[in-house]
């Protein structure tokens, strides 16, 4: 049943750093109102069922890359794309991935906004210059060519950029180029046989995380404010809420 949250709500009177996740930064970018309702008022969006198939693919890819991490070897797909990187070994990697209880990913304090920013990475590679390379796994099923051009995939780009910003802030040299590994499930096979077949590809992305610090300052300003931001005009959910409230009201008035 839906209930207002009582924990992890921003308190404007507190001087303690407030923790904010990569996905909450994304929520703010999409709609400051939804972000405010969630983080300041404890009214988060209703939950959706977990993407278990995507998680299964993520785990399988992590296992595959972990085997090579131990040996310090390059993955054959990375070889095929002539990418200069091997899986990065670091004792904190399980924490950065959220595999250790009580750790919420890579975590760093932004002193200017007094926000602790955390992000759960899928993988980190290292190039031959010693720079860390941010990597995210994506599962899909499409007959279209895989690209990063769709409007909704701009969030993928911001995801990589937040990771780049976090790891730079943690003191690591970070490559501007991040990578998405796409696992594309083929859907035009004549028979299922209880098996999914994936076409694997890698797309590079040249990130620019300069926007992150400014956005964190905007977020802090919004959280300190008592004014609830306006809704995003193009959002169908708020339009649905308003329309349904209007219709229910008019029906009640007729009774």
At 182, which helix (H) or strand (E)?
strand 177-185
Closest CA to 30 of 148, 152, 137, 207: 152
Q: Is 185 near ligand SF4 (CB under 6 A)?
A: no
* Residue 235 found at the interface with ligand SF4 (CB under 6 A): yes
Binding marks (x or -) toward ligand SF4, 58..77, rule CB under 6 A? --------------------
Helices (H), the chain: 22-30, 32-39, 52-71, 76-80, 93-96, 154-169, 211-224, 236-254
Q: 30 or 54, CB closer to ligand SF4?
A: 30
- Which among 96-104, 122-130, 216-224, 232-240 is the span making contact with ligand SF4, rule CB under 6 A? 232-240
Whether the CB-CB separation of 178 and 207 falls below 8 Å is answered with yes
Nearer to ligand SF4, 30 or 140 (CB): 30
Q: Note whether 232 binds ligand SF4 by CB under 6 A.
A: yes
Residue 222 is a binding residue for ligand SF4 (CB under 6 A): no
Residue from 8, 9, 26, 33 in contact with ligand SF4 (CB under 6 A): 33
Q: Which one, of 66, 67, 179, lies nearest residue 127 by Cα?
A: 179
Told to check if 43 binds ligand SF4 by CB under 6 A, we report: no
**Cα 29 from Cα 31, distance rounded (Å):** 6
**CB 44, min distance to ligand SF4, A:** 10
Find the shortest distance in angstroms from Cβ 161 to ligand SF4.
21
Q: Quick check: 182 and 205 in contact, CB under 8 A?
A: no
For ligand SF4, the binding residues (CB under 6 A) are 31, 33-34, 231-232, 235, 237-238
């Amino acid at each position: 049943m839906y209930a207002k949250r009582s924990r992890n709500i921003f308190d404007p009177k507190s001087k303690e750093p407030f923790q904010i996740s990569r996905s909450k930064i994304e929520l703010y970018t999409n709609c400051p109102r939804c972000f405010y309702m969630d983080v300041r008022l404890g009214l988060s969006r209703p939950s959706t069922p977990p993407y278990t198939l995507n998680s299964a693919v993520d785990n399988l890819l992590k296992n595959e890359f972990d085997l090579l991490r131990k040996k310090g070897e390059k993955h054959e797909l990375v070889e095929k794309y002539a990418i200069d990187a091997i899986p990065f070994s670091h004792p904190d990697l399980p924490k950065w991935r959220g595999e250790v209880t009580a750790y919420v990913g890579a975590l760093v304090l932004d002193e200017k906004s007094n926000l602790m920013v955390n992000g759960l990475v899928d993988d980190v590679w290292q190039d031959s210059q010693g720079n860390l390379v941010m990597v995210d796994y994506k599962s899909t099923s499409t007959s279209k060519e895989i690209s990063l051009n769709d409007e909704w995939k701009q969030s993928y780009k911001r995801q990589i950029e937040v990771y780049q910003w976090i790891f730079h802030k943690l003191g690591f040299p970070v490559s501007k180029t991040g990578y998405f590994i796409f696992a594309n499930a083929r859907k035009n096979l004549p028979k299922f046989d209880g098996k999914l077949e994936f076409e694997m590809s890698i797309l590079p992305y040249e990130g620019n995380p300069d926007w992150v610090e400014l956005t964190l300052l905007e977020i802090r300003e919004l959280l300190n404010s008592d004014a609830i931001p306006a809704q995003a005009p193009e959002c169908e959910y708020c339009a649905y809420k308003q329309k349904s409230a209007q219709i229910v009201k008019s029906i009640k008035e007729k009774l």
